[in-house]
Chain A
Amino acid sequence: MADTALARSRGHARTTERERPPRRRRRPSPLHLILIPLSAVMLAPLIWMVLLSISTEAETRRFPPGLPSGVHWQNYLDAWHQGPFGHWLLNSALVSVSCVIGNLVLCSLAGYAFARIPFLGNRVLFVVVLATLMVPFQIVMLPTLIVMQHLHLTDTLGALIAPNLATPFGVFLMRQFFTTVPKELEEAARIDGAGRLRTLASVLLPLMGPTLATLSVLTFLNVWNDFLWPLIAVQSPGNMTIQLGLQNFQGQHFTNWPVLMAGTVTSQIPVLVLFVLAQRFFVRSIASSGLK
C-alpha cells in the first residue's frame, strides 16, 4: 500500500518538475491491486515468523491471532541459551564454504580437461559423470553411510563435506563454459610458454567470474539447506548444521512457539541477508541451472 502511495507521489513530483503535458502523467498501474495481495500472501509466513518470535507465549496461542503487544527480545536470548545456534551456524558455514571451495577448484580442473584436453577416456569418463546426475540422493545415501563408517568419518563435519566436494553438475557447468571460450586465448598463453595449470589459473579463470559465482551460489544454497544427509550422518549436537540443529530444537521446544520462532529466524538470517543483497544473482543462478 505504502508502495503505491510512494510511487504516486514520486510520479507526481516528477511531472510538476518537468512540466509534462498532463495526459502523459503515469497513473499507478492497476496491476498493483493484484501484485500487493500476491506479495502479502507470499510474505505472510515469513512476516508471521518474525511477529511470533517477538510475542509472548500466550499471544501465540490465542484465537484469532493478532499482533504482539510489544517486542520481546528475550525470546532470542532464550533460544540462543537453550540451543547452540552460534555453533550450528558456524558448522553450516564451515561445511558450505568448504564445499564451495572444493567445487570451484575441482570442477574447474575437471571441466577444463573435459573441454580442452583430448586425453584417452575423456568421453567415457564424462558420460559416466553425467549419468550420476540422474541418480537420486536417497538411493546413494545408505551405502554412503557405510563408506563413512569405513573412513571413520561418521558423526563428523567431514562426513557432511566429503560427498559434496565435487558435484557432477559443477563439472558439467564448467565444461560447458570452457567449450565457449575461444581456443586462441589459450593457445597464445601456451606459445608464451605457460603450462596448462598456469594458463587455466591466469588466463581462463579470470574470464569466468559469473560462471564461478553461479556455481558458488548453487553449491552454497544446496549444502546450507540440506537436511536429510546431516540427519542421518550426524548425531551429536556439537556437529549439527543449522538445519538439523533447528529441527532438533523444534523437537525440544515444540510447545514454546516464541522461542522456537526466534530460533527459526536466527537460522534464516544469513541466507536471507545474502539473498536480499544479491537477489539478481540468485535469480540468474537458478534460471541458468534450469534453462539456457
Chain B
Amino acid sequence: MAVVAADRAAGERRSARRGGRAGGSGPRLRRADHLAGWAFVSPAVLLIGVFGLVPVVWSLLLSFQQTDLTSPGTWTGAANYQKMVHDPVFWQAARQTLVYCVLFVPITMLLAIPIAVLLNQKVRGMTFYRMAVYVPLVTSTVATGVIFSWLLNPQFGLVNAALGKVGLPQQGFFQSTGEALPAVVMMTVWGWLGFAVIIYLSALQNVPRELMEAAALDGCGRVRAFWKVELPLLAPASSFLLVWLTINALQLFDEVYVTTKGGPLHASTVLVYYLYQQAFVDFDGGYAAAIGSALFVVILAVTMVQLWLSRRASHYEGN
C-alpha cells in the first residue's frame, strides 16, 4: 500500500505542478480558508505526527542510548551499532530474513498466477472456489500459527500423515533446525496466497476483452494468448506484489512468535523477532532500536527501487 500510494502521489505532484491544481496558492486566498484547512487536517495530522513521525526520530535517538524503555537511558554513542556489527546472532537473523524473503516472495507469486488464471474462468461454483482461496487472508496470524503447529506436528500432524501416504519420510518441521524456516514459509504462503491472487485476478479482469478476441481472430490459441497477451499485462501487478510482499516478508514476526519462538537454536530467528527479543526479553531497548534502523534502511531501499521501477514503467507508457 505504502509504496503504491506514495508512487501515485508522486505522479500527482508532477501533474499538479503543471496544472496548478489543489494545494497551490489560488487566486484568492481568504483567511477563513487557511483556518478551515488547518482545522480539518489537524486532528489526523497531529495523531499521525505523534504516532508515525516523531517516533522515527525518537527511535534513531534511542539507538544511540543504553535503555530498558521504562527508565531514562544513557548516551553510549555508536556502541549499539558496533555491537550489531560483531553480533553473530544478528547476522544469522539477517541471513535468515533474506532466505525467508527469497523463498516466500517467489513461491507466493508463482503459485498465485496460475490460480488467478483458473479463478478467472467461467465455471460453476466459482464463488465457492474463490472463497476457498481467499479465506486464509482473513484468518489471523495467531490462529494460523496455532493450526499449523498441529498440522506440522512431527508426531501426529496431518502433513506427516500425508507424506507417509505417498511414501516420503517423516519430517521434523518446526522442531528441526533445517526445516523450521521452510515450515514458516509454507504457513505464510498459505496465509498470503489469497492476497496475491486477488491482485492478479483484478489485473486479469482489466485485460480488455477486445485484446483477447483479436488474438483469437488472429489464430492465437488460448495458451499462446495467455503467454503473449495476458502475462505481459500482468507486469505492473507483479512489480507491485514483488515489493509489497518483500516489505511484508521483511517484517515477519507473528507467525514465528506463535510457532517456533525463533528456535530451535535461533534457526527461525528473523530480524523483527530478534528486535522484539532484545527489547522485551533482554530489555536492551537501545540495541533493539539499532536493529530497527538497519531494517528501516533495507525497507527504504526496497521502496526506492519500486519508485524507480514504476517511474521507468510510466515512461514506457508515455511513449
Contact = CB atoms under 8 A, between A and B. Distances in A.
A264 B193 CA distance: 21
Contact of B292 (A122, A127, A139, A166): A139
Given A119-B33, A139-B59, A139-B292, A168 B40 contact: no
A106 B236 contact: no
A52 B135 contact: no
Contacts of B174: none
Interface in A50-106: 52, 60-65, 106
Given A48-B150, A125-B45, A172 B158 contact: no
B227 interface: no
A42 B136 contact: yes
B22 A65 contact: no
B316 interface: no
A35 interface: yes
A42 B202 contact: no
Interface string A97-134: 00000000011011011111111111101111111111
A25 B37 CA distance: 63
A60 B58 contact: no
Given A52-B150, A246-B142, A31 B123 contact: yes
A31 B114 CA distance: 12
Contacts of A292: 4, 8
Which secondary structure dominates where chain A touches chain B?
A: helix
Interface residues of B, number: 117
Given A49-B147, A118-B23, A250-B258, A171 B136 contact: no
A261 interface: yes
Given A276-B131, A286-B198, A134 B303 contact: yes
B229 interface: no
B33 A106 contact: no
B82 interface: no
Given A32-B123, A42-B190, A63 B161 contact: yes
Contacts of B3: 134
Contacts of A145: 69
Q: Contact residue range for chain A?
A: 35 or more
B118 A45 contact: no
B45 A129 contact: yes
A95 to B, nearest CB: 14
Interface string B114-134: 010010010111011111111
A171 B46 CA distance: 12
Question: Which of B5, B26, B141 has most A Cβ within 10 Å?
Answer: B5
B237 A119 contact: no
Interface string A229-273: 001100000000001101100100010010011001001100110
Contact of A143 (B55, B135, B160, B161): B55
B289 A142 contact: yes
A119 B58 CA distance: 29
B308 interface: no
Contact of B151 (A45, A63, A110, A260): A45
Nearest to A248: B142
A7 interface: yes
Given A139-B292, A279-B131, A45 B44 contact: no
A246 B45 contact: no
Nearest to A52: B150
B62 A268 contact: no
A12 to B, nearest CB: 13
Contact of A138 (B23, B45, B62, B275): B275
B53 interface: yes
A119 B35 CA distance: 8
A39 B45 contact: no
A134 B38 contact: no
B123 to A, nearest CB: 5
A132 B53 contact: yes
Given A45-B136, A272-B135, A289-B1, A134 B299 contact: yes
9 contacts: A39-B132, A45-B147, A49-B147, A65-B161, A147-B55, A228-B254, A246-B143, A260-B146, A286-B195
Nearest 9 CB-CB pairings of A with B: A119-B37, A113-B40, A39-B132, A143-B58, A140-B55, A132-B52, A143-B55, A110-B44, A133-B2
Interface of B: 1-6, 8-9, 13, 16, 21-26, 29, 33-38, 40-41, 43-45, 47-56, 58-59, 62, 69-70, 115, 118, 121, 123-125, 127-144, 146-151, 155-158, 160-161, 164-165, 190, 193-195, 198-199, 201-203, 236-237, 240-241, 244, 247, 250-251, 253-254, 257-258, 272, 275-276, 279-280, 285, 288-289, 292-293, 295-296, 299-300, 303
